[in-house]
Amino acid sequence: MQATTFIPFSLNLGGKLVEIDRPWVMGILNVTPDSFYDGGSHADATAIEEHAARMAHEGADVIDVGGYSTRPGAGDVPADEELRRVEAGVKAVRRAAPDMIISVDTFRAHVARRAIEEMGAHIINDISFGTLDKDMFATIRQLNVPYILTHSRGTPATMQTLTHYDNGVTATVLEEMARKIDTLRQDGVNDIIADPGFGFAKTVDDNYRLLANLDAFHTLGVPLLVGVSRKSMITRVAQCTPAEALAGTTALHAAALLKGAHILRVHDVAAAVQARVVISKLSSASIINT
């Protein structure tokens, strides 16, 4: 596989310009009882803080706090419960790593607002493609924060019934994302990160096609986030459980880095950091192009 040249980007984080000058590792902090891999693992303040501290120690550049499981088939979570979970997660990260960049995984505009204005988060990660809350785009514009736009269809409960793509998955997802990014820019949102949405309204084969063609998404002109950690695109192919999927995850992280990914959203920070180091060395040695 030929390496894609890494393209640096800058993000405005609370009035401070921060450059993505190497791939970032985003550690996942699920404060939920039902996430597909680590649901219930971080059920109290001590466990949450210990996990955040571990990810910071292992080299996470960002920690992504989620209070609503968005795995396919997941049920609804009341807004007040999501807020309680998110607040617990953000506070834990603040205690464990005061200087950490914090992203909040939510599709609700008012959760996003409170996370930024009251809790001190920096980035909003919306897996709904901006479709589940009509106020989200306006809220992001008003907050003036980086926004992760994830391609998806439907809701977590219905998305896996919406996997038909008339013109092929890569062309369709790329076109739909380009339209949304144009809308966001016209609305005054400047800092956008694109996530093709691996596992969200995609078949296993769709996910691999998207990753194989990830370099096409650089035409969007924004940083690219890849979230494949321990997902079913690995477990179904390797015939393993999510708990057994670290090797497959690391293989796909290496592929994403070779395709120029800017952010890896991961459960296992140390393994992703190690993958980044060796892929960077391989690229700089020009071994890939010989």
Report the alpha-carbon distance of residue 173 to residue 199 in Å, rounded. 13
Domains of the chain with bracketed CATH: 23-284 (3.20.20.20)
Give the chain's residues under pLDDT 70: 1-2, 34-43, 70-75, 286-290
Residue linked to tokens 């396919």 = 72
Q: Would you give the DSSP letter of residue 49?
A: H
- 265 catalytically annotated: yes
Max CA pair span of the chain:
56
Q: What is the pLDDT of residues 228-247, one digit of tens each?
A: 999 999 999 999 999 999 99
Q: Mind listing the pLDDT tens digit for each residue in 26-61?
A: 999 998 774 444 544 556 788 899 999 999 999 999
Apex 145 CA angle, 139 and 150, nearest 5:
80
User: How is residue 47 written in tokens?
Assistant: 């466990």
User: Catalytic pick from 231, 236, 259, 281?
Assistant: 231
Name which of 243, 237, 160, 241 is nearest 202 in CA terms.
Answer: 160
In sequence order, the β-bridge partners of residue 264 are 25, 226
Q: Could you tell me if 114 and 83 are in contact, meaning their C-beta atoms sit under 8 angstroms apart?
A: yes
Q: Which among 180, 202, 259, 265 is annotated as catalytic?
A: 265
